[in-house]
Structure 1
């Protein structure tokens, strides 16, 4: 079933009497099957991963869209930091210094560490207690483009994204 068909099915299956109770969602309370709209495209939340590195935790949601899948990240650092990422198919090597040129952009390291998967829901390709190394990098010139690199065992994955505000997305509760 396509994404739009699934979105229509979610709306059809909702109980009108329960709508009066109105379930509201925020970026902090996203759940599986919620609908997230960003940049005029609808996505269904199909997965969630919560990472933990010492006392630091952050959550990433797997979003399925009609044209592509994306990852929505959420972390709290005095305020909520939200990022939206697209998985890249361009091969990448493990960063060996504080800077890295990737897809023609020079990135600078912001954070690097090892995290344990604390929680998994839905379709994410990870499991609880799995360990992942990560590098969070930012475009050295404009500070607007983000690069997330994760090392799962011997496999490296790169995702390119940007920081967004909660005002740039809308959320409809799927249940």
Structure 2
């Protein structure tokens, strides 16, 4: 190579390095990643003061033989022994341990015109506490139990299950 060729090649490289760069196409926006919906928390609004709601919750629990571990202005904590665990619970919280308890926390929040009650469940193995994710069926059952509590707080008679009625006989 000639001695003048090296500076010319270097100059050409510098010019291309400093020259305009080709525009890269913008990446196509990615579709939002579908996420599983957050687990539903059973809850209900009851048109009554929180103190009355909590007293009915505690009375219902005691009538079923469930221990009221705490009853404060924030809510009611219920506990009972869990003699065995389902596969679903074991998948969430580990294998069954002797002395396992279920803890249900019914939080109460005073709102204008009444009280909102929310339910959360936990498995307690000694000092280990595991939150339980409810299935849609369990959420439905818990909401039905909260509706029964609401009816009791409001003094509404228990709704009897539908019974079949004999068809009316035509008058002759």
TM (normalized to structure 1)?
Answer: 0.29
TM (normalized to structure 2)?
Answer: 0.29
Q: Which has the larger radius of gyration?
A: 2
Higher helix share: 2
